Structures are given as structure tokens and as C-alpha cells.
Amino acid sequence: MINKLISIVFFVGIMVCTWLMLKITIPYFTFDYDVDFLLTKQAILHSDIWRWSFYIHISTSLVVLFLGVFQFVKLILNKFPKFHRNLGKIYILSILILSAPSGLVMAFYANGGIWAKLSFLILSLLWWIFTCIAYLKIVKGEIQSHIAFMIRSYGLTLSALTLRTYVVALPLFLHLHGKEMYVLVAWLSWIPNLIISEFLIKRKVFK
């Protein structure tokens, strides 16, 4: 009963957050350079590889954020296994080919100096590795291992949400310089997610 409740709250929460992320993302596709985050990247907007990576990352990350949550809906998994597999393929391929590689490129240009860059580099690499392992596990028929690595993968997918949450919330409680705050947010955006993922795996919430 508790696991079912956690699943419902998780699904509803992600749907709400995905809608909010969509509202945040849409203005970037005016392709103006004076929109929110881009105001902090004026020095590298001339770089084609950074611009391409940015737009690929924000668009595909929104897709995998939305699709990923359906991988944990038991109704779809049990009643519509083919649909589950097709959504899973889109999720996995999007991360392996587009989202994680573009995130890796962006990591080299991250605000906050070397420690923030290192955090986003590790995040991008782990995201790619966990997602790849999840695919290899299901190909081998190792279902429980597949589920565990999909939970880890999606936990890192959710870093897009947790990062923005910390950006808004932490300044209300901590008074740090801009660079120090960004470094803290960079690491907090994904490490707690992995800790929670391991808790969910141990509890077998999505078995």
C-alpha cells in the first residue's frame, strides 16, 4: 500500500514538474539570446557547438523527463508491454545519443569554475553509463537489474528539476557568493537523487 502511494505521488509530482519545466523551456525557442540562463552565457554564445548542445539538451531532456516516468507505471508495464518497450527505447536512445552527450559538452562550459564543471561532467557520464547498462540488462533478460539501473538513470534525469529547485530555494536559507552557491547547487542537483534512487531500489518500490 505504501509503495503504491509513493508511486502515485511520484507520478503526479513529475507530471506537474514537467509542465512547469515546459513553461520554463518554451521561451528559449524564440532563439533570442537575452532569455534567463542565456544572459549568463553571453561570452560563449558565439560557439556553435555550445549553442547546438544547449538547444539539443533542453529539448531532449524535457522529452526524457516526460517519457521516463511512464516506465514506472505498472498499468502500462503489465497491460501494454509493447508500448512500455517502445517508450523505453525512445528514452534510452534519446539519452545515449542526444541528452547525455550534449550535457557533457555543456559541462565543459559550466558556470561556477572547475568544481561545477567536474560535477556536471560526472553527472553526464553517470547518466550515460547507467542508461546504457539498463539497456544491456534488459537485452540479457536481467529484469531486476534493468529496473535498478533505470531508477538510477531516471534519478539523474530528475537533476534538471532538482537543480532549478535548489537555485530558487537555497538562497532563502544560505547566503553564499554566486560562484559558491552554484557549485553547491551543481553537486546537490544529482547526488541526493542517487541516494534516494538507492533507497527506492532497496525498498523495491518499482519492482
pLDDT for residue 32 is more than 60: yes
pTM: 0.89
Task: Check residue 175 and give its pLDDT.
Answer: 75
For 107-126, what is each residue's pLDDT tens digit? 999 988 899 999 999 999 99
Identify the residue with better confidence: 148 or 79. Answer: 148
For 63-110, what is each residue's pLDDT tens digit? 999 999 888 887 788 888 899 899 999 999 999 999 999 999 999 999
Q: In sequence order, what DSSP letters do the residues of the chain get, joined into one string?
A: -HHHHHHHHHHHHHHHHHHHHHHHHGGGGG--S-SGGGGGGGGGTT-HHHHHHHHHHHHHHHHHHHHHHHTT-HHHHHH-HHHHHHHHHHHHHIIIIIIHHHHHHHHTT-TT-HHHHHHHHHHHHHHHHHHHHHHHHHHTT-HHHHHHHHHHHHHHHTHHHHHHHHHHHGGGT----HHHHHHHHHHHTTHHHHHHHHHHHHHTTT-
Q: Could you list the residue range(s) of the whole structural domain that residue 124 is in?
A: 2-203
Task: Check residue 59 and give its pLDDT.
Answer: 92
Task: Check residue 41 and give its pLDDT.
Answer: 86
Query: How many domains are there within the chain?
Result: 1
pLDDT for residue 171 is more than 70: yes
The stretch 4-14 carries a mean pLDDT of: 74
